[in-house]
Homo-oligomer: A and B are copies of this chain.
Amino acid sequence: MFKQLFDTESSTFTYLIVDELSKEAALIDPVDSQLHIYVDLLKQLGVKLKFALETHVHADHVTASGKLRQMLGIQTAVSQQCGATSADLQLNDGDELMLGQQIIKVIATPGHTAGSVSYLWQDRVFTGDALLINGCGRTDFQGGDAGTLYESITKRLFTLADETLVYPGHDYQGRRVSCIGQEKTINARLAGKSREAFIDIMQQLNLPKPKMIDIAVPANRKCGVDEDTALQG
């Protein structure tokens, strides 16, 4: 089973993956403000959350992973490159997480942040802010690097089968899904673009500083929870 959830405040997609046989579930990029929606949904579906997986340390929202760990005893997981030492699982490229007999594979896709990863499950890839629909994540903070992102997208993601479904971390125009073949063909920043042309595009974006970054990044390094407070609370 698969569900795509959306936080309208940060335009963040959260994904629920369920292995039907074992009833084990994973949430990718859960958002703090949506915590009770997840808990209710898991209960309604009769499934057991095993993992909260982060595609990276987010700058635009606070993760629900730490609170889900407190409430449900799950494991939180994030790339080892993120500096989120409170996460239970410190992931590296090629790692495999098991939901029952189903595999969720970690693909390192740095560039938006140094620790950005994508998760491949069946024929679906959850790309976080590396590859977006007809776009990509910005590369001007948190160890971001346009050349690195170009390599991640063109050499790791674009080498997946054309039919592989792309589920991004955000969309701001109501789109929800794409596929590798579509992004290879029509992504305005990447289709037919050289590494140099891509770097040039990214350097000229001149985006404002994210409103939440000073709160979200330190919080997300702690799985969204102040552990000292949590221990008392």
Q: With an 8 A cutoff between CB atoms, is A123 at the interface?
A: yes
Q: With an 8 A cutoff between CB atoms, is A208 at the interface?
A: no
Stretch at the interface among A78-86, A174-182, A224-232: A174-182
The proximity string for A residues 198-223 relative to B, scoring 1 for CB distances below 8 Å and 0 otherwise, is 00000000000000000000000000
On whether the beta carbons of A4 and B175 are closer than 8 Å, the reply is: no
Bound Cα distance from A176 to B191, whole angstroms? 15
On whether the beta carbons of B181 and A4 are closer than 8 Å, the reply is: yes
- Write the chain B residue with the least CB distance to A178: B177
The proximity string for A residues 168-198 relative to B, scoring 1 for CB distances below 8 Å and 0 otherwise, is 0000011111110110011000000000000
Interface of chain A, main secondary structure: mixed
**Integer count of this chain's copies in the complex:** 2
On whether the beta carbons of A3 and B174 are closer than 8 Å, the reply is: no
Which residue among A3, A123, A163 has the maximum number of chain B CB atoms within 10 Å of its CB?
A163
Within 8 Å by CB of A174, from B2, B165, B182, lies B182
Q: With an 8 A cutoff between CB atoms, is A162 at the interface?
A: yes
Bound Cα distance from A147 to B185, whole angstroms? 35
- Write the chain B residue with the least CB distance to A171: B182
On whether the beta carbons of B4 and A162 are closer than 8 Å, the reply is: yes
Would you list which residues of chain A between 144 and 164 have a CB under 8 Å from chain B? 162-163
On whether the beta carbons of B123 and A163 are closer than 8 Å, the reply is: no
Bound Cα distance from A177 to B177, whole angstroms? 7
- Beyond the given A2-B123, A2-B163, A4-B179, please list 4 additional residue pairs across the A-B interface where CB-CB is below 8 A: A4-B181, A176-B181, A176-B182, A177-B178
Q: List 25 A-B contacts (CB under 8 A).
A: A2-B123, A2-B163, A3-B163, A4-B162, A4-B163, A4-B179, A4-B181, A162-B176, A165-B165, A165-B177, A173-B186, A174-B182, A174-B185, A174-B186, A175-B178, A175-B182, A175-B186, A176-B178, A176-B179, A176-B181, A176-B182, A177-B177, A177-B178, A177-B179, A177-B182
